[in-house]
């Protein structure tokens, strides 16, 4: 367990902080501060912040608990609860027009203010983890300290690998990955503390330990799966000189500096997407039963593995390659239009376009496009993706059934990975899973700190809905 610094240091710490940015999003003021390099421990930061946020939540419940947030319609009930406001998710907020904001910061703002491995480089995922947990922009020294701590936690015992090895090599990589995460659960600090009768006010502390251990260890499991399935079982150990994203790239077998930069960007932008998506909501739901972070995150991975969620990044690259197989590498826009219509008329969707919430081009797509323009402008698949950006939205708009015809994050990520040699599309969702550990675990720590209750929405039958609507129309 990590030992805590005394609260008496709080006043001196506050005096040493310099405010760097203030953001207002949906009438919620987010304060972001850069702290002195003398205060480097993430756990101590949370220990200071949590009492303040507990009081904030208590005041919200006391003063505004009866304020209505909207009306529930039959359409919402029958459409997967779409559009219902029903979750507290502190780490990020998704705006239909602006896209995702991490603690109030957009992706371009994160790229600007979060520490990078080199000047002008992509943000380090460790910096985003600090931001999601504290709401504060960390210094480079704080990020380096956290990076070292994660490396020190990055140990996986042999029985975890043996559990994965019990599966056929042909098993989908996501199944192998989720199995490895489940095997990690044996060492859950939360489970041990709960069995020993820990007070609920302290739940967040072993949850923090589990969460940082999980975040540190999932790249080892993910890279083990990759090397097992695609590289003949020739595994690569952790390099204790590298940061989180670069180390993951290294363990996969890719030491190209540009690939390391891509991995830093990929993990950062895929880490969180508010709480309503399948994987985030699943993790939150399972954790609300006081399941530990390993059980909760494994459940989230099983949701992420679905074709309508994380598996879509696999489907995009496979679809793009099918275009090339049928039309050739120098495909024209007219050929693309014909192939898109062929896909749609076959009762299928064009993967990588549309989103359940967004109503404009996904900013995660945009930042990946900017990366491609900078590093691989002549890549044939990138050029094809650029043509699709021009061809697909007008066709989907013409259909009249699609609320958002614009590309999402999945439309681009596979092309970038393919360029640097990670060509195995079936593996892509595992990369997504490693990234999503940062967001889901960050929120889970706050779930425990704020004492959020068991999630238990009310369900009804079709008969109940029919009777309710008849009464509503007859009155």
Angle between helices 173-184 and 428-450 (to 10 degrees): 30
Is 309 a known active-site residue?
yes
Catalytic residue among 309, 412, 419, 447: 309
Q: Helix (H, G, I), strand (E, B), or coil: what is residue 407? A: strand
| Catalytic position from the list 281, 410, 412, 419 | 410
Catalytic-residue membership of 281: no
For 115, the 3-state DSSP assignment is coil
Q: Which of 250, 281, 284, 355 is catalytic?
A: 355
Contact indicator for 91, 439 with CB cutoff of 8 Å: yes
272, 279 contact by CB (below 8 A)? no
Bridge partners of residue 92, in order along the sequence: 102
Rounded Cα distance between 251 and 80, Å, is 39
Reduced 3-state DSSP string for 236-254: CCCCCCCCHHHHHHHHHCC
Provide the 10 A C-beta neighbour count for residue 425: 20
Give the span between the Cα atoms of 445 and 211, in whole angstroms: 8
- Please give the span between the terminal C-alpha atoms of the chain, in angstroms, as a whole number: 62
d(CA 179, CA 167): 9
Where helices occur in 94-184 by DSSP H, the ranges are 107-113, 125-134, 140-153, 158-165, 173-184
467's tokens:
């009777």
Instruction: Give the up-direction half-sphere exposure of residue 86: CA atoms within 13 A in the CB hemisphere.
Output: 18
Catalytic site residue 273? no
Distance of CA 78 to the CA centre of its chain: 27
Q: Where are the alpha helices (DSSP H) in 271-362?
A: 278-287, 293-304, 312-327, 333-345
- What is the residue whose two structure tokens read 């990138």? 382
- The residues that are catalytic are 309, 355, 410
């Amino acid at each position: 367990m990590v030992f805590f610094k005394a609260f008496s240091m709080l006043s001196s710490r506050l005096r040493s902080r310099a405010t760097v940015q203030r953001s207002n999003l949906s009438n919620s003021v987010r304060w972001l501060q850069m702290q002195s390099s003398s205060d480097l421990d993430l756990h101590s930061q949370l220990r200071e912040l949590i009492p303040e946020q507990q009081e904030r939540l208590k005041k919200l419940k006391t003063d505004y608990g009866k304020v209505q947030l909207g009306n529930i319609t039959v359409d919402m009930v029958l459409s997967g609860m779409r559009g219902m406001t029903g979750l507290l998710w502190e780490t990020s907020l998704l705006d239909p027009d602006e896209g995702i904001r991490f603690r109030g910061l957009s992706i371009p703002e994160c790229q600007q203010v979060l520490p990078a491995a080199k000047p002008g480089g992509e943000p380090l995922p460790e910096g985003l983890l600090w931001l999601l947990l504290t709401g504060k922009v960390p210094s480079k020294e704080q990020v380096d300290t956290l990076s070292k701590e994660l490396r020190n936690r990055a140990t996986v015992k042999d029985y975890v690998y043996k559990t994965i090895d019990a599966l056929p090599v042909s098993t989908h990589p996501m199944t192998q990955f989720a199995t490895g995460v489940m095997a990690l659960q044996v060492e859950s600090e939360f489970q041990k503390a709960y069995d020993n009768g820990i007070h609920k006010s302290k739940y967040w502390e072993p949850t923090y330990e589990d969460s940082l251990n999980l975040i540190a260890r999932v790249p080892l499991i993910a890279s083990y799966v990759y090397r097992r399935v695609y590289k003949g079982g020739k595994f690569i150990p952790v390099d204790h000189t590298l940061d989180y994203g670069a180390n993951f790239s290294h363990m996969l077998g890719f030491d190209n500096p540009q690939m390391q930069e891509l991995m830093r960007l990929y993990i950062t932008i895929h880490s969180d997407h508010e709480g309503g998506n399948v994987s985030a909501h699943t993790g939150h739901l399972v954790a609300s039963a006081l399941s530990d972070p390993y059980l909760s995150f494994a459940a989230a991975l099983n949701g992420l593995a679905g074709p309508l969620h994380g598996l879509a990044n696999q489907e995009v690259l496979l679809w793009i390659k099918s275009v090339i197989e049928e039309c050739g590498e120098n495909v024209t826009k007219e050929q693309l239009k014909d192939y898109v219509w062929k896909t749609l008329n076959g009762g299928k969707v064009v993967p990588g376009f549309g989103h359940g919430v967004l109503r404009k081009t996904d900013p995660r797509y945009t930042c990946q496009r900017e990366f491609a323009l900078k590093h691989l402008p002549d890549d044939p698949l990138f050029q094809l993706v650029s043509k699709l950006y021009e061809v697909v939205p007008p066709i989907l708009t013409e259909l009249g059934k699609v609320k958002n015809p614009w590309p999402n994050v999945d439309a681009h990520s596979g092309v970038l990975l393919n360029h640097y040699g990670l060509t195995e599309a079936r593996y892509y969702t595992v990369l997504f899973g490693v990234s999503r550990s940062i967001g889901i675990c960050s929120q889970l720590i706050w779930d425990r700190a704020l004492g959020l209750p068991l999630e238990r929405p009310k369900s009804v039958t079709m008969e109940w809905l029919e009777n309710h609507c008849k009464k509503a129309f007859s009155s």
